[in-house]
Amino acid sequence: MFRIRLSSFHSCGYSYAILCWGLFTLYCIWFQATRLYSYWLRQQRIKGIDRQPFVMPGTSLYKKCDFLVRIPFVTNLIAAKHIVGVFILCVVNVLWSLWAPFVYTDAGWVLPAVGLMDRRLAFIAMVNWDFAIIFGTRNNIITHMSGLTYESLIPFHRWLGRLGLAEYVLHVVWRIIAGYQRTHVVADSLFRNTEYTTGTISTLGYLLMYLTSFEYVRRNHFEVFYYSHIFGFIIGTAFACWHETTCFLYFIPCIIFWLLDRAVRSYRSWFVKSTPIRVDETVAQTATQEGILRVLFEQNGFNNFAPGQYGFFAIASKANKWWQFAFASNWRPFTISEIFRGKKSDVASTNSKEIEERVMSGEKKNEKGHSEDSLLNFDINTPEGVSQLAQLRRRAPGVSAPNSEESILATVHIKGLGNYTRRILRAAAAGDDFAVKVDGPYGTKLDYRDHKVIACYALGIGATPAMTLIKDCVERRAAGVKTVTTEHIYFIWCVRVSEEYTSFMDMLAYWNEKCKSAILPISLTVFIHVTRQKSGENLLEGYPGSDVFYGTRPDIPGYMQMIEDEEKQRGRDHSHVYVHTCGTDDFMRTVWNTALKHDWDTHRETFDF
């Protein structure tokens, strides 16, 4: 029978839950207040009043705590403030397990008996897991309220998961000992009665989750990690609720969040139509680099896309039946490298009868069957289609406000870094047809537009998030959009061989053109470092202040000092520089920590969750 035990364990658990939700709510209120303030600043700018953003006292010190460090065998990137945060959380957990709900009696503060402590810890563990599970979902109201996105919450998902597991293990070990001591029969320590048996099965479920979450499994057998995580969670939680019915109270909120997330993801992936338009191998694989593939697709679910965001993609060659089968289960994250907005087109239509019907209904078509004013009124599916993307870029800028009447085309650039991506690359080189599904967009809506200077530091394919940022700023300044204050953009890009940047040259040429004809002033300086070639062409001649360097790595502190000096020459003492970085952990750590020394705002995009 369903029964909730209102025990001291429960009061310990729920008081801890109230503390956590209370603190989190305060954080959300603070975040929403800062959003309102940014909105007000932009409104002022539209009226022609350029106010300097208010900087809270202590901001500089707080920013210094963002310093990134590496903890060997644990994580490559963690901010100093998060280490402090995790430490405080552990201390709070210990205090709660000892004294919650903090009732002062005539006998003073009463410590519970040791035999009860393990169950108090198990209840606290459930609250930690509640948060861990919610932080591991992609779509939830919490990300909207707090501004913390899926990828920024994933590290907390892991920390809370580990902390909860440590507490849960203490409960399990203590109960195994207690079970054994009763009868001195080994089996009784695990399967003495229904309570023990369900507890044991639940533990096995959670252990499966934990053991398959190690970095090695995640990086080398992602699907094993992913599906064990879901299976382990369902088994662990179902049997935990059977083991102790009060667990329902704790798990129900996160189960609701999880189910809603699954529903939104399924809807986006299977019901919002994605149409692949072209899949091209833009850089063929060679002995020195892995090759790059570009997917151009139409996805109207990207209406609210913000530069720097990414999506989860399932891409399969139609030629391979096994791939078709695996299609539904192989999702990979890729950043949108470019977006084109335009009038709703008939891009997706390949059905000649349908085209004919629309022509008869009076809609004017060109010879390829597209509306004259649609995004693709030329046939992109020709061998010249690759260069025609340049035409698309020039006729479909991404500056219009999101609107449901427009068509959204987007590209992702994919490097052949692993088995799956290399397989798609090979299929694209062979000219296969593809099926594409997209779940997204995800990721932070970045605040770069409020900064006078943006500096993007990218490594290899890590340039894709920077590309949408730069394109957005350049196009908006070119169109005279006053809410974008950026006047100078620096793009420092490190690649191994020149093919990795030459395939993006048309994009760079387009930015350069836009800067020259911009209504509001904007300058772009590009420095490309080709590390594994001693010499080569300089395709950036004619780009003011820009250069290509062969055989050298970028001097990150040197570039930052250069930007600071140039800012001083422009008469701005405290420069408002926004630094964006994407690359390996070591690269991002150097960029990030150096930027903090300059007291600049920073954002990093990780390509490894």
Ligand X SMILES: Cc1cc2nc3c(=O)[nH]c(=O)nc-3n(C[C@H](O)[C@H](O)[C@H](O)COP(=O)(O)OP(=O)(O)OC[C@H]3O[C@@H](n4cnc5c(N)ncnc54)[C@H](O)[C@@H]3O)c2cc1C
> By C-beta, is 374 or 606 nearer to ligand X?
606
Residues 599, 573: Cα–Cα separation, whole Å: 12
What does the per-residue mask of binding to ligand X show for 126-145, with x meaning CB under 6 A?
Answer: --------------------
Copy the structure tokens of residue 173: 């070990």
Closest contact distance (angstroms) between CB of 193 and ligand X is 41
* Residue 579 within binding range of ligand X, rule CB under 6 A: no
Contact 315, 432 (CB under 8 A): no
Tell which positions 142-161 bind ligand X, by CB under 6 A: 151
Residues 264, 500: Cα–Cα separation, whole Å: 36
* Residue 587 within binding range of ligand X, rule CB under 6 A: no
Contact 548, 538 (CB under 8 A): yes
Q: Contact with ligand X (CB under 6 A): which of 162, 332, 395, 426?
A: 332
Strand residues in 358-451 grouped as ranges (E)? 406-415, 434-442
* Residue 262 within binding range of ligand X, rule CB under 6 A: no
Residues 390, 457: Cα–Cα separation, whole Å: 24
> By C-beta, is 415 or 477 nearer to ligand X?
415
> By C-beta, is 461 or 591 nearer to ligand X?
461
> By C-beta, is 136 or 369 nearer to ligand X?
136
**What is the residue type of 442?**
Y
* Residue 501 within binding range of ligand X, rule CB under 6 A: no
What does the per-residue mask of binding to ligand X show for 333-352, with x meaning CB under 6 A?
Answer: xxx-----------------
**What is the residue type of 21?**
W
Closest contact distance (angstroms) between CB of 521 and ligand X is 30
Rg of the chain on CA atoms, in Å: 27
In our burial notation (b when 16+ CB lie closer than 10 A, e otherwise), range 507-524 reads: bbbbbbebbeebeeebbb
Closest contact distance (angstroms) between CB of 585 and ligand X is 12
Contact 261, 133 (CB under 8 A): no
* Residue 314 within binding range of ligand X, rule CB under 6 A: no
Closest contact distance (angstroms) between CB of 216 and ligand X is 11
Contact 450, 41 (CB under 8 A): yes
The alpha helices in 192-282, defined as continuous H runs, are 194-211, 215-220, 222-243, 247-270
Could you please report the per-residue DSSP string of 384-439?
THHHHHHHHHHH--S-SPP-TTEEEEEEEEEE--SHHHHHHHHHHHTT--EEEEEE
Question: CA separation (Å) from 180 to 185, 194, 196, 197, 239?
Answer: 6, 15, 11, 14, 21
Residues 6+ apart with CB under 8 A from 148: 142
Residues 118, 125: Cα–Cα separation, whole Å: 10
Tell which positions 76-135 bind ligand X, by CB under 6 A: none
Q: Which of 421, 424, 490, 465 is nearest to 581 (CA)?
A: 465
| Residues in binding contact with ligand X, number by CB under 6 A | 25
Closest contact distance (angstroms) between CB of 458 and ligand X is 11
What does the per-residue mask of binding to ligand X show for 461-490, with x meaning CB under 6 A?
Answer: x--x--------------------------
* Residue 27 within binding range of ligand X, rule CB under 6 A: no
Q: Contact with ligand X (CB under 6 A): which of 9, 123, 331, 501?
A: 331
**What is the residue type of 313?**
F
> By C-beta, is 254 or 293 nearer to ligand X?
293
Give the distance, in angstroms, between the CA of residue 393 and the centroid of all CA atoms in the same chain: 25
Q: Contact with ligand X (CB under 6 A): which of 105, 352, 403, 419?
A: 419
Contact 164, 126 (CB under 8 A): yes
> By C-beta, is 96 or 491 nearer to ligand X?
491
- For ligand X, which residue has the nearest CB? 418
Closest contact distance (angstroms) between CB of 219 and ligand X is 4
* Residue 69 within binding range of ligand X, rule CB under 6 A: no
Contact 273, 404 (CB under 8 A): no
> By C-beta, is 219 or 273 nearer to ligand X?
219
Tell which positions 214-243 bind ligand X, by CB under 6 A: 218-219, 222
* Residue 297 within binding range of ligand X, rule CB under 6 A: no
Closest contact distance (angstroms) between CB of 140 and ligand X is 17
Q: Contact with ligand X (CB under 6 A): which of 126, 414, 455, 469?
A: 414
Closest contact distance (angstroms) between CB of 405 and ligand X is 28
> By C-beta, is 130 or 338 nearer to ligand X?
338
Q: Contact with ligand X (CB under 6 A): which of 86, 348, 417, 518?
A: 417
CB count in 10 Å sphere of residue 421: 19
3-class DSSP assignment, residue 548:
strand
Q: Which of 393, 412, 364, 579 is nearest to 486 (CA)?
A: 579
* Residue 418 within binding range of ligand X, rule CB under 6 A: yes
Copy the structure tokens of residue 232: 């382990």
> By C-beta, is 421 or 525 nearer to ligand X?
421
Q: Which of 550, 509, 557, 503 is nearest to 527 (CA)?
A: 550
> By C-beta, is 311 or 369 nearer to ligand X?
311
Q: Contact with ligand X (CB under 6 A): which of 296, 314, 412, 454?
A: 412
Residues 456, 470: Cα–Cα separation, whole Å: 9
> By C-beta, is 13 or 462 nearer to ligand X?
462
Closest contact distance (angstroms) between CB of 252 and ligand X is 27
Closest contact distance (angstroms) between CB of 293 and ligand X is 8
> By C-beta, is 315 or 478 nearer to ligand X?
315
> By C-beta, is 14 or 312 nearer to ligand X?
312
Q: Which stretch binds ligand X (CB under 6 A): 260-268, 329-337, 490-498, 583-591?
A: 329-337
**What is the residue type of 117?**
M
**Strand 292-299 with 577-582, pairing:** unpaired
**What is the residue type of 35?**
R
Q: Rule CB under 6 A: which residues touch ligand X? A: 151, 218-219, 222, 310, 312, 331-335, 412-415, 417-421, 461, 464, 607-609
